[in-house]
Structure 1
C-alpha cells in the first residue's frame, strides 16, 4: 500500500524566482527602442542664448536705428497739412483781391449791389403804402356802415394813389440803375403830393381837434398810423440819392483816398518770397543736392519738380543756392 506524499508549500524564494522569469519573458517579447535624447531648455536656442538675451539684443539694435534716423531733419522740412491749407487760403485771398481790382469785376459788383438795394427799398415802399391803406380807408369812409358802397370804395383810395406813386418811383429807379437819373422837378412834386395826401389822411382822424366826443388823444396811436407814410417819404427821398451815387462810380481806379493791399503781379499772383522765408525749401534742396538727386546748379524748373513747390519759391531757392554753388 502506497501512501501519497503531500506537495510542499511554495516559499518566498519560489515567488521571487517566478517574478524574475516573468520579467525576463516580457523583456524578451517587448521591441527594442533607443533611449530618447534629452531636449534642451525652452529658453535656449542653437547658439545657447536665452530669450532675455535675444530680446535685449533686439532692443539695442532698434535703439541704434532710431538714433541714426533721428539725426536726419528731412521730415521737419516737409509742409504739414495745416501749413498747406493755410498757404492755399492765402493764395486764394490774394487772387480774390486782385480780381476785385479788375474794372469789369468792380462794375459787376456795383451793379449787383445796386439791384439788391433798389429791390429792397421798393419792397419796403410797397409794404409802407400797404400799411397806410387801413388809415386812408378809415379817413375816406367817414363812419360809413361796414360793407356799404361808401365803405368798400374807401378801400380803393390808397391803392390807386400808391400805384401812381410806385409808377413814378419805379421809373426813376430803373433809369437810375441805367446811369440816367431822372430828377425832373415835376415828377418830384408829384411824388411829394401823393405822399402828403397819404400822410394827411392817415394822421387827420387822430389829431386832437379831429377826435370825436369821448375819445382821448394818444401819441402812440398817431405815430402808429403815420409810420407807413413816413417810411414811404424816407424811401422816396433816399432812393434817388443812392442811385445818383452809384452812377458816379469810377470802376477804372481804386477807391479815392484809400490805399488797398498791394500784391506782386508775379506768376501765380503770389508775392515774391525772400530767402529767409523759403529756408525749409533751401535745406531740402541742399539735402537733394548732397544725395545726388539734384545737380549742383539746379534750375528753377528742376527745383520746382523736385520740391513740388511754386515757381516763385523755386526761383527764390535757386537764387539762394547760386552763391554757394559758385
Structure 2
C-alpha cells in the first residue's frame, strides 16, 4: 500500500525558485562595468592605443640609428666589385714576363698565318692573268692552253718556299736577310706582276680592244698584295724577335706605407688604396687604433668586409 505524496503548496514553489536563482547567481562570473575598469586603471582605449604607438616609435627610432644594413653590399655592388677585382687580377697577370711572352708568340703566329693566307690568295688571284699571258692565242683546252695554267702555281710554290723559310727563321729570332733570297723573291714577284699587267697594257691589247685602267688595276692587285706581304712580313718578324719580355710595363697602383708596413710595397687596387689612406688618417687622429680590426675598419669607413680585410692586411705589421 503506497501513500500519495502531498502536493506542494505556493510557499514550497516560491522557496524552490529562490534556491535555483541563488544557485545560478553563484555560478555566473561577475565583470566590472567598463566605467568601473577605467576608474580602476585610469586608461581609456585611446590612451592604450597611443601608448602602443609611442612604444613602436621608440623601437623604430632605435633601429634606424643602426647603420649595419647600409654596410651590406647589394647584388649589383657585389657584381661590380667582382668584375673590378677580376680586371685588376687580369691586368696584374698581363705584366708577368711569361704571360707577355705567350701573348707575343700567339700574336706572331696569328699574323704569320694571316699573311701566308693572304699571300696564297693573292698569288691565286694572279693565276688567271698569268695564264692569259702564257697561253697567248692558244685554243681553249689545247695543250698550250692547259699548261699555261701551271705557270703561276710553280712560281708561287717557289716563292712560298723562300717566304716560308724567312718567316719561320724570323719566329726563332734568326732573321734571314740574305740578298740572294731577297733577289729571288723580287724576281718571282716581278715576273708575276709583269705577266699579269702585260695583256692589259695599251700595247698588249688585241686589235680593236680599248684600254681600261680599272681592268689593269684589278689584274695587278694580286701581285701588288703579294709584294706588300713579302716586304712587310720580315720587318714585322724582326720586330717581334727584338721584344724583351722580362721588363713589365705599368703595374697596378703601388703604395708604400712606412708607419706599419716597414716600407714595403703592395700591389693593390685604387679603391683599396683610397681606403688605406682614409684609415691611416683615422689612425693619426686617434679615431682608430694602430692595428684596427677588419670590423672596426668596416664600421669606420662603411665599406665592404673584403675591402676592410684588405686594408687590415695592408696595414698589419710584418712578422719578425
Query: Please, what TM-score do these two structures have when normalized by structure 2?
Result: 0.70
Preserved contact between residue 263 and residue 269 of structure 1 (Cα < 8 Å): yes
Which aligned pairs between 1:210-289 and structure 2 lie closer than 5 A? 210-254=204-248, 262-264=253-255, 269-271=267-269, 272-275=273-276, 277=278
Match of 1:138 in 2: 132
Preserved contact between residue 129 and residue 232 of structure 1 (Cα < 8 Å): yes
Query: Please, what TM-score do these two structures have when normalized by structure 1?
Result: 0.69
Q: Secondary structure at the match of 1:182?
A: coil
Preserved contact between residue 254 and residue 265 of structure 2 (Cα < 8 Å): no
Which aligned pairs between 1:1-326 and structure 2 lie closer than 5 A? 59-254=53-248, 262-264=253-255, 269-271=267-269, 272-275=273-276, 277=278, 300=293, 307=305, 309=307, 311-315=309-313
C-alpha displacement of 1:95: 2.4
The count of residues paired between Structure 1 and Structure 2 equals 272
The structure having more radius of gyration, on CA atoms, is: 1
Q: Secondary structure at the match of 2:156?
A: helix
Distance 2:255 2:290 in 1: 27
Distance 1:254 1:148 in 2: 64
Preserved contact between residue 205 and residue 211 of structure 2 (Cα < 8 Å): yes
Preserved contact between residue 197 and residue 219 of structure 2 (Cα < 8 Å): yes
C-alpha displacement of 1:117: 0.5
Q: Secondary structure at the match of 1:229?
A: helix
Over the aligned positions, Cα root-mean-square deviation in angstroms equals 4.0
Larger mean CA deviation between 209-218 and 263-272 belongs to 263-272
- 164 and 275 in structure 1: CA distance in 2 versus 1, 3 angstrom threshold: closer
Larger mean CA deviation between 78-87 and 92-101 belongs to 78-87
Match of 2:7 in 1: none
